[in-house]
Structure 1
């Protein structure tokens, strides 16, 4: 009799829409091993990167801040960054200092004054890819940074949305150069060449996926 009650209750719940579908479930956010974060922090210290360590916390279903920092000074001003997972912060700092800075000077003939971003942390799903389902974005773990533009000391602003397909050969070479360098430092790098959702930024994610588009 009790088995029949369970079956009826399950059928009633399904009819009322209260049964959670498998596709709606989201795993708990991945936590970074303490030793990995400790080594990353030592690397930032060795590189002279100024940062503030942030407390670990869950922020929503499948979202959380674990092993994150706030970058305060990497040698070049960067805007719109809040929490960034330490590994992504380490890769980003090295990319700006060792790739974007020399590329700006050597290719564009001006020093790099600022990097504009669209942020790092956002508790949301992947967007812009059909059939991806409700998979969480790397931004949900603060493990990705979206770069929108590079500002030069001579006043020029090289934006992804405005200059990716520019007829100016130097600007195109600069943007392709920084993307290639990013692909050597980040697991996933997505650009306007990937899809329309990335028409205005470079998505840089520290996920070891070896996917560069």
Structure 2
């Protein structure tokens, strides 16, 4: 019986090795970058079925994530400053950056893990701005947020697990201003029956393609006035 199992395992190994050799020999350089699973993630690459795989890859590869972010800065898509891996209170950050501006201005600069910074840039370019131009014929010029890093547990409960904010893996989006002066807030516009509400629902849905966790007014009362956008952790879109 053991001999038979050994033969099966060896045969499976040979098959998988042959499959990998065939797969790696494919002329991937001819495949568009956004569909190429071996090409690094670029912020400007349109979403594709491969995007999630690439996003998960940079989440586990700090150097790959830094490269993606550096390329975005060289392309003028973000202005940030590296802050390293400081320990603040009881919370340890890893390869964090301070975001000063992207294609929009922020009410305040904010700390972000590298994966959060990349997720925001992709959300902004591929979901936020396209929705604003489609519904209002104007881009978003300013984003108001409630912050990112906070060394605390979920809901500040002593018996809860650490919040994604404790590692700068989450940003709370409260409202926006468009280039034409239009102001939109989650608190006042989510429940309305107008363009502002449709816009908020569209960007919430779009955020779910770039962030692991997206929580808003449909989740609970604690999120009635903002979208909680987080990377890592559980996958939830509400």
TM-score between both structures, scaled by the size of structure 1: 0.77
2:125 is aligned to 97
**DSSP 3-state at the match of 1:91:** helix
**DSSP 3-state at the match of 2:151:** coil
1:27 is aligned to none
**DSSP 3-state at the match of 2:84:** coil
Highest relative contact order (Cα 8 Å, sep 6+), 1 or 2?
Answer: 1
Task: Extract structure 1 runs of 4+ deviating beyond 4 A.
Answer: none
2:82 is aligned to 53
**DSSP 3-state at the match of 2:118:** helix
1:161 aligns with 2:187: yes
Aligned with 2:196 (options 171, 182, 188): 171
**DSSP 3-state at the match of 1:186:** coil
1:127 aligns with 2:155: yes
Aligned residues: CA RMSD: 2.1
1:71 aligns with 2:130: no
Size of the alignment, in residue pairs? 177
TM-score between both structures, scaled by the size of structure 2: 0.69
Unaligned runs of 5+ in 1: 1-32
1:189 aligns with 2:218: no
Structural mapping, 1:131-142, within 5 Å: 133-142=159-168
Unaligned runs of 5+ in 2: 1-57
Superposition deviation, residue 132 in structure 1: 9.0
User: Contact 1:186 / 1:208 at 8 angstroms: preserved in 2?
Assistant: no
Superposition deviation, residue 98 in structure 1: 1.8
CA distance in 2, matches of 1:140, 1:64: 8
